[in-house]
Structure 1
Amino acid sequence: MSDVLDESALYCPCCGEPVTVLVDISPGAQEYIEDCEVCCRPMIITVQLSGEDLVVQARSEDA
């Protein structure tokens, strides 16, 4: 079984800059921490699959 990767664009909840994250959607819904490529602060990334739609959101650890 191969991994299924999806590139998602969102805004960093810490600095507000646009960033791109590469998401492995093969495990389905998940939550993990990834550092912002602009400000290097940690973002909590939430991935949800709703039918055919992929929903990727980011929030700061303080939220």
Structure 2
Amino acid sequence: MKEHFFQCPYCWKEISMLFDTSVSNQTYIEDCEICCNPIEINPVFNHSELVALHILNIEQ
């Protein structure tokens, strides 16, 4: 597991999440811990190193 910090696409506050580095490509939905809006998160790992991180707001 690896902690990574990024900005919420809704409230622009910095939040952190733990990512499983053993899975190379992941996509999941998490709520922002500050504003509670849903965020689509897609981290990409290569040999346990984060090589890309896509953070998208989910239009409701």
Offset, 1:51: 5.6
User: Structure 1 length as normaliser, TM-score?
Assistant: 0.79
CA contact (8 A) 2:22 2:48 kept: no
In structure 2, the gaps of 5 or more residues are: none
What's 1:56 paired with? 53
Give unmatched runs, 5+ long, in structure 1.
none
User: Per the alignment, do residues 53 and 27 of structure 1 end up closer, same or farther by CA in structure 2, a change over 3 Å counting?
Assistant: closer
Aligned residues, how many? 58
Identity %: 33
Matched, 1:30 2:19: no
Could you tell me whether the CA contact under 8 Å between 1:32 and 1:45 is conserved in 2?
Answer: yes
Q: RMSD across aligned C-alpha pairs, in angstroms?
A: 1.6
